[in-house]
Amino acid sequence: MDSIVVTGGRPLEGEIAISGAKNACLALMPAALLSSDPLTLTNTPRLSDIRTMSALLESLGCEVAALQDARVLAIGAERITNHTAHYEIVRKMRASILVLGPILAREGRAVVSLPGGCAIGARPVDLHLRALEAMGATIELRDGYVHAEAPAGGLRGARVVFPLVSVGATENALMAATLARGTTVLVNAAREPEIVDLARCLRAMGARIEGEGTSEITIEGREALHGATYRVVADRIELGTYMLAPAIAGGSVELLSGPGSRELVAAFADKLQETGIEIADTDRGLRVSRTNGSLRPVDVTTQPFPGFPTDLQAQMMALLTLADGVSKLEETIFENRFMHAPELLRMGAQIDVHGGTATVTGVSKLRGAPVMATDLRASVSLILAGLAAEGETRVARVYHLDRGYERVEDKLGACGARIERVHG
């Protein structure tokens, strides 16, 4: 099993190209199920989760071709030959549930295993199911599978009010509504850039959608959608993660995420600047620099977009272990998402966790240690900590890392980090 070995103490200088967004791509790929014409996605990240979604779509009858060094995915769903998404594939990734809405809308029936993924909380799918039920679907849970059937004539437009903001449920309902009869209004919808990206792709496929990026999205159903070519948005979580690299290690790095990309990470960037880090917009993205030795403590509360992302909480904690004072991080999105804290303690951090709040008292230095990744974002937080630690940090179980970060060792190594992947 691979490990990542980091020897800290070296400032970073250079540039890092930001890949296409994993979470956006994982929603765009199932959108291909809505049309018998091909959907071509460009700027796709080369990640294990993308390969898992490709395998799932192929199991349903799609043809998936990875082109241009896997930076382009061509997906053809001329016929859906299998209406069941089996546990053997779905258990690997929670985003697999996103095939439910498209298959149900197009075929009138779908059977999808309850999903798996990182162990950072229950993340139930009940909001997905309620939205589809509001559109007329009959839902039954049997033997770990969701059995869904549309009424005669297909799904119907409806007013769907989400009691809680859910990105996945918004995505599933949005896709299903594009083929429903009549108008669907999603109230208290998620506002994340990945939702906007999905709506834009669906619109390119002929869908009629208004309001993406706000809490109310209106969809007028169509009889059919057509094919399209669409570019995946830059990954805001990868962007935020690499913004933290020079912040914690020192130095100056330009993140090649495209002009105007600060909007993708505005709340996070504001908090990072509060710690004393310099962030400047460039023609190609953002430049992040740490020019003085001290870091100021800050308090962070995770919130749905446009608030501070839960997917950057672990990485931010790594930085705050070195701040000059006491910081508090409140996790409001997922329970059980401080599993990286005990591993940071092994490196000399001072962290006290009570329920959904972690109190971090900054220390003067971290020490390299053998640590273990518990989930995707925790794994990269330990690598970031290793950039600043004295000595060697060995991060085990980095298969989590490979689900969401492409060639971390190459990207950081090109900026001067002493980092390598060790096999076995």
> How many angstroms separate the CA atoms of 413 and 395, rounded?
16
- Asked whether the CA dihedral 295, 298, 302, 307 is positive or negative, the reply is negative
Phi/psi region, residue 251 (left: phi>0; alpha: psi -120 to 50; beta: rest), is left
**Active site includes 118?**
yes
Query: What's the pLDDT band for 118 if we cut at 50, 70, 90?
Result: very low
Query: What's the pLDDT band for 148 if we cut at 50, 70, 90?
Result: very high
> How many angstroms separate the CA atoms of 162 and 52, rounded?
28
What is the mean pLDDT of the segment spanning 348-360?
96
> How many angstroms separate the CA atoms of 221 and 74, rounded?
25
Q: Which helix (H) or strand (E) holds 361?
A: strand 357-361
Residue 82 has pLDDT above 50, yes or no: yes
Read off the pLDDT of residues 360-369 as tens digits, 9 standing for 90 and up.
999 999 999 9
> How many angstroms separate the CA atoms of 376 and 93, rounded?
12
Look at 412 and 335; give whichever has higher pLDDT: 412
Say which amino acid occupies 388. A
Instruction: Give the pair of three-digit tokens for residue 409.
Output: 């060792």
Query: What's the pLDDT band for 117 if we cut at 50, 70, 90?
Result: very low
- The percentage of the chain sitting over the pLDDT mark of 70, rounded to a whole number, equals 98
CB 417 within 8 A of CB 385: no
- Any bridge partners for residue 145, and if so which? 113, 142
Indicate which residue of 62, 118, 201, 415 is catalytic: 118
pLDDT at position 314: 96
Q: Which helix (H) or strand (E) holds 288?
A: strand 286-290
Phi/psi region, residue 232 (left: phi>0; alpha: psi -120 to 50; beta: rest), is beta
pLDDT at position 122: 46
Give the distance from CA 91 to its chain's centroid: 17
> How many angstroms separate the CA atoms of 217 and 280, rounded?
33
Out of 68-72, 106-110, 372-376, least confident range? 372-376
Q: How many CB atoms lie within 10 A of CB 112?
A: 26
> How many angstroms separate the CA atoms of 265 and 414, rounded?
24
> How many angstroms separate the CA atoms of 347 and 364, rounded?
12
Read off the pLDDT of residues 184-222 as tens digits, 9 standing for 90 and up.
999 999 999 999 999 999 999 999 999 999 999 999 999
Read off the pLDDT of residues 217-243 as tens digits, 9 standing for 90 and up.
999 999 999 999 999 999 999 999 999
What is the mean pLDDT of the segment spanning 337-343?
92
Set out the domains of the chain in order of their start, with CATH numbers. 3-19+234-422 (3.65.10.10), 22-231 (3.65.10.10)
Residues contributing to the annotated binding site for UDP-N-acetyl-alpha-D-glucosamine: 94, 123-127, 311, 333
Query: Mean pLDDT, the chain, as a whole number?
Result: 95
The residue length of the chain stands at: 424
Tell me the CB-side half-sphere exposure of residue 234, using CA atoms within 13 A. 23
- What is the three-state SS of 128-149? HHHHHHHCCCEEEEECCEEEEE
Q: How many CB atoms lie within 10 A of CB 188?
A: 16
Residues contributing to the annotated binding site for phosphoenolpyruvate: 22-23
* Residues near 220 by beta carbon (within 8 Å), at least 6 away in sequence: 157, 182, 183, 208, 209
Q: How many CB atoms lie within 10 A of CB 364?
A: 7
b/e 243-256 (16+ beta carbons within 10 angstroms → b): bbbbbbbbbbbbbb
- The percentage of the chain sitting over the pLDDT mark of 90, rounded to a whole number, equals 89
Q: What is the pTM of this model?
A: 0.92
Phi/psi region, residue 135 (left: phi>0; alpha: psi -120 to 50; beta: rest), is alpha
Q: Using the 8-state DSSP alphabet, how is residue 329 labeled? A: E
Read off the pLDDT of residues 88-102 as tens digits, 9 standing for 90 and up.
999 888 889 999 999
> How many angstroms separate the CA atoms of 363 and 248, rounded?
13
pLDDT at position 116: 60
b/e 284-321 (16+ beta carbons within 10 angstroms → b): bbbbbbbeeeebebbebbbebbbbbbbbbbbbbbbbbb
Helices assigned H by DSSP within 135-265: 167-177, 193-204, 236-249
- Parallel, antiparallel, or unpaired: how do β-strands 183-187 and 159-161 relate? parallel
Residues contributing to the annotated binding site: 22-23, 94, 123-127, 311, 333
